[in-house]
Structures are given as structure tokens and as C-alpha cells.
């Protein structure tokens, strides 16, 4: 049975741990992000967190009902990083473009955490704020409600899907990353035109483009489609 979470004002430690750490949700999440960077997405545990924070692992359950709730808090923290400093400019396309790039960048900056959280729905404050912001941008621009929801769905899922894909690549061992990148300059670049004419003609471009994220291009394509939709609505 999950333990009841103690209200914030009652669960704060009145004194630091032996290591001088004053526990809080934020401190636990930040420590979890560091452990994920050091040990990967499978290396996060209450025991390891307790050691890092110099506290009994059971203390963590005064802040989170379990490791899954902590996972959701980590995901929400990444979204919070994306939102920090963002303000709508009042033009729907630049605003969505900025939000998308910010979310993607926040996740790939923490690839191990992104692998763990990109597919989750947190229902927490930062996620709700970004969802409200995207819907507000679209509705204010004049998109009808059904089109707003359709574009919002594609926008969010595309952003998180690319974040997860790019994070998975970045989380690979360096040797594997280099081997994958080199494949475009070795195997693909050496295929003969007689057997693979389209790959052969595209090989130089593939070698330069396929080692970078396609998210900016995909985002522009989605926004192009949304702009065409809005033009039809206004016609």
C-alpha cells in the first residue's frame, strides 16, 4: 500500500542531513537528475538517492508516494526548464516554434531523464502550464476548437517523440554514437549507383543531415500545415 504523502509544511526537515542537505522536493529531483546522468535511466533507486542525500531511503516517501511519482516530478521539472524565461510574443507561429524548441532542448539536455519521462503524463504544474499556453496560442490565433486540439496533439506528441529519439541516441555510449554517425559516411556513402541509385545520389547530403536532429525541420513542416489550415478557416 502506498504511504500517504505528508503536507509540504509538515514534512520539511527542521535540520539538515548529516551531509548538510535540507530536503525538499526540488532537492530530491535535482539529485535524481544528477544520478540519472551518472548511472543512466536504470540507475535511479530510493537506496541510491538516500546515499546521495545522506538520508534514510524511507525519508523520500514523505515527499513522494513512490519512485513512479518521483519520475513524474522529474518530467515536470524538465518542462519547467523549458518554460523558464519564455513569454508569448503575440504571434502564434513564432510562439509555438519557440515553445517546441525549448521543450526539445530541455529534454535532450538530460537524455537519461528524457528516456524515463518523455512518454509520461505528469498532470503537474509545469505540464499544465505548457498545455494551457499552447492551447491559448492556438485559440487566440483563431483556430477552431477541433483544429486547436488536433494541432496541439500533433505538436506535443511530435516534440516529445523527437526528444525521446534524440535523447536515446545521446544516451548511447560514445563509441556507439560515433559508429552510428560513421555509418552514413562509410556503408551508405559507398553503395554503388547500380544497386542503390537514390541512396548513392543522396549520400553526401545524408551524411551531413542524418547526424543531426530532424526536429527543427519536422516542426517547421507541422507549422506550415497549421498555417494552411488557418488560411482555409479565414477564407
pLDDT per residue of the chain (235 residues) written in tens, 0 to 9:
455 555 555 555 556 666 667 889 999 999 999 999 998 878 889 999 999 999 889 889 889 999 999 999 999 999 999 999 999 999 999 999 999 999 999 999 999 999 999 999 999 999 999 999 999 999 999 999 999 999 999 999 999 999 999 999 999 999 999 999 999 999 999 999 999 999 999 999 999 999 999 999 999 999 999 999 999 999 8
Q: Are 138 and 151 in contact (CB under 8 A)?
A: yes
Domain residue spans of the chain:
8-65, 89-234
Reported CATH class of domain 8-65: mainly alpha
Q: How many angstroms separate the CA atoms of 24 and 32, rounded?
A: 12
Q: How many angstroms separate the CA atoms of 203 and 185, rounded?
A: 8
Q: pTM for this one?
A: 0.88
Rg from Cα positions in the chain: 22
Say if domain 89-234 classifies as CATH 3.20.20.80.
Answer: no
Amino acid at each position: 500500500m502506498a504511504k500517504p504523502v505528508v503536507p509540504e509544511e509538515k514534512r520539511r526537515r527542521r535540520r539538515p542531513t548529516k551531509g548538510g542537505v535540507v530536503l525538499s522536493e526540488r532537492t530530491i529531483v535535482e539529485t535524481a537528475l544528477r544520478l540519472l546522468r551518472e548511472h543512466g535511466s536504470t540507475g535511479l533507486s530510493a537506496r541510491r538517492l538516500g546515499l546521495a542525500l545522506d538520508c534514510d531511503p524511507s525519508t523520500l516517501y514523505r515527499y513522494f508516494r513512490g519512485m513512479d511519482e518521483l519520475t513524474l516530478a522529474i518530467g515536470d521539472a524538465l518542462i519547467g526548464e523549458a518554460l523558464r524565461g519564455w513569454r508569448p510574443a503575440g504571434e502564434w507561429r513564432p510562439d509555438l516554434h519557440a515553445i517546441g524548441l525549448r521543450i526539445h532542448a530541455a529534454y535532450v539536455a538530460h537524455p537519461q531523464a528524457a528516456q524515463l519521462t518523455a512518454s509520461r503524463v505528469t498532470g503537474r504544474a509545469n505540464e499544465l502550464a505548457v498545455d494551457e499556453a499552447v492551447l491559448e496560442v492556438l485559440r487566440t490565433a483563431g483556430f477552431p476548437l477541433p483544429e486547436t486540439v488536433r494541432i496541439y496533439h500533433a505538436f506535443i506528441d511530435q516534440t516529445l517523440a523527437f526528444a525521446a529519439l534524440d535523447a536515446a541516441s545521446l544516451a548511447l555510449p560514445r563509441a556507439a554514437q560515433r559508429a552510428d554517425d560513421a555509418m552514413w559516411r562509410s556503408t551508405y556513402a559507398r553503395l554503388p549507383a547500380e544497386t542503390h541509385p537514390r541512396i548513392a545520389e543522396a549520400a553526401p547530403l545524408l551524411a551531413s543531415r542524418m547526424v543531426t536532429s530532424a526536429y527543427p525541420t519536422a516542426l517547421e513542416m507541422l507549422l506550415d500545415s497549421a498555417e494552411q489550415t488557418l488560411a482555409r478557416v479565414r477564407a
